[in-house]
Amino acid sequence: MQTSVADTLSTLADAIDDLAAAGSVERVQRLVHSAARRLTDADGATLVLREGGECHYVDEDAMKPLWKGRRFPLETCVAGWSMLHGEPVVIDDVYADARVPHAAYRRTFVKSLLIVPIRSHDPIGAIGIYWGEPHTASSEEIAVVRALAGSTAVALERAKLMQEVERRRISEEDLRELSERDPLTSVLNRRAWDQLLASALRKGRQPLYVALLDLDHFKRYNDRHGHPAGDELLRRAARAWRSAVRAEDVLARYGGEEFAVLLAGCEEDRAIEIAERLRHATIDEQRVSIGIARWDGRESAASLVDRADHALYAAKRGGRNRVMLAA
């Protein structure tokens, strides 16, 4: 007898430890019904959650199928009675108790049962234990299932909180990502570009280049083909340019048909090589002019971009479709 009690307490302790470490509601659900069945040496166990005015039999571990996935009004099932009254239900003979919907049990193996609410005050669910032969739940069985139910309440609330925190974190990341992306081309927008450039200058990493790209005769293209075609051209150009830069380079839509690239950690010949690669990657028969400026280590972001802009317009004045390096 003492060994049996020791084994039961050890099983309960293991179950409580597992519940404390469970990181999701689904994991808690799987742990509860299997632990309940082991603790009582029963033929079946189920976890029921209270959802509005219904009992939701979310999961089970039983010798034969019971009601996994089904929902019943609180007033029509024994688990509902247990939750509404906040107390355990011990039924030796399911067909001799008026609280049992006999028709629902005739298709099952169940002869006796124990239902324990998850929390006595404002229960959030219940644990159901079932036997295929007549059985009267002992005070020890009731006690260990109540202990399991108490740990289940804490584990469920904790898992729900963790999932909500994770959901909000992902949502916040998504919102931040959306706020940093140009909705047309999906590259970084001007706001994100300004922040990243300022950050790079604060870090003082050398060498550092800024390249400005401007699609040649874009207004003429828009006038000839229409704005939807112009938008599609910008999208396709951005995709092509993304594949032409290094993973560490920063590509952004600076405004209109103008894009910007931040090239850090490469020397002049490498920066020009990347710029030429961008020029050649431009789609179809379109052409692009590119101006590049190297940061001198002291000037502001505005000054650096302004020098790249002057180099860009020098490229346009020189005949377009070329790369110009600022003096």
Tell me the pLDDT tens digit for each residue of 13-23: 888 888 888 87
Q: How far is CA 90 from CA 141, 251, 281, 300, in A?
A: 11, 68, 76, 78
At the topology level, CATH places domain 2-168 in Beta-Lactamase (3.30.450)
Tell me the pLDDT tens digit for each residue of 224-260: 999 999 999 999 999 999 999 998 999 999 999 999 9
Where do the structural domains in the chain lie, given as residue ranges?
2-168, 190-325
Q: How far is CA 81 from the centre of its chain?
A: 37
pTM as predicted: 0.54
Contact at 8 Å (CB) between 90 and 136?
A: yes
* The pLDDT value given to residue 68: 93
Q: Is residue 296's pLDDT more than 70? A: yes
Tell me the pLDDT tens digit for each residue of 100-140: 999 889 989 999 999 999 988 889 999 999 999 999 999 99
Give me the active site residues, please.
Answer: 257
Band of residue 177 on the pLDDT scale cut at 50, 70, 90: low
* The pLDDT value given to residue 1: 35
Average pLDDT over residues 54-76: 93
Q: Is residue 305's pLDDT more than 90? A: yes
Architecture of domain 190-325: 2-Layer Sandwich (3.30)
* All residues at 6 or more sequence positions from 309 whose CB lies less than 8 Å from its CB, including other chains: 212, 291
Phi/psi of residue 208, nearest 5 degrees: -145, 130
